[in-house]
Amino acid sequence: MGGIKDEVRKVPQRTCIGCRSVRPKRELVRIVRTPDGTVEIDPTGKKSGRGAYVCPDAVCLDKAMKSKVLAAALHMQIPEDVVERLRKGLEDLS
């Protein structure tokens, strides 16, 4: 109404690359390919590099790997040992 700023702040939304559900950014986990080429979980969401979001559930990570969406999002092939490390990291966050 006439110049009064909206006091309700918009919550950033992101899409899980595994199940394609849109959720608030804070409910998803960011997986990042750092500039030196390592792939890791980014709990802060602020690490430098190319990132993708997944639900904090190994099922979504598995879907993203099976359909090769995570590899496409990070622009690199992801070795199986890295996938296992990511899966363990998601379990630790739960």
Q: For the residues 20-38, what does the mean pLDDT come to?
A: 96
**Is residue 54 within 8 Å of residue 17, measured between CB atoms?**
yes
Residue 59 included in any domain: yes
Rounded to a whole number of angstroms, the CA Rg of the chain reads 15
Assign 7 a pLDDT band (cuts: 50, 70, 90): low
Full residue range of the structural domain in which residue 22 is found = 13-93
E strand residue ranges, 4-92: 13-15, 22-24, 29-33, 39-42, 50-54
For residue 31, count other CB atoms closer than 10 A to its CB: 26
Q: Give the chain's end-to-end CA distance (angstroms, integer).
A: 43
Helix, strand, or coil here: 16? Answer: coil
Tokens found for residue 34: 């750092």
Give the tens place of pLDDT for each residue, 32-78. Answer: 999 999 999 999 989 999 999 999 999 999 999 999 999 999 999 99
Would you say the pTM of this structure is higher than 0.85? yes
Q: How many domains does the chain have?
A: 1
* pLDDT score, position 3: 52
Q: What CATH number corresponds to the domain at position 65?
A: 3.30.1230.10
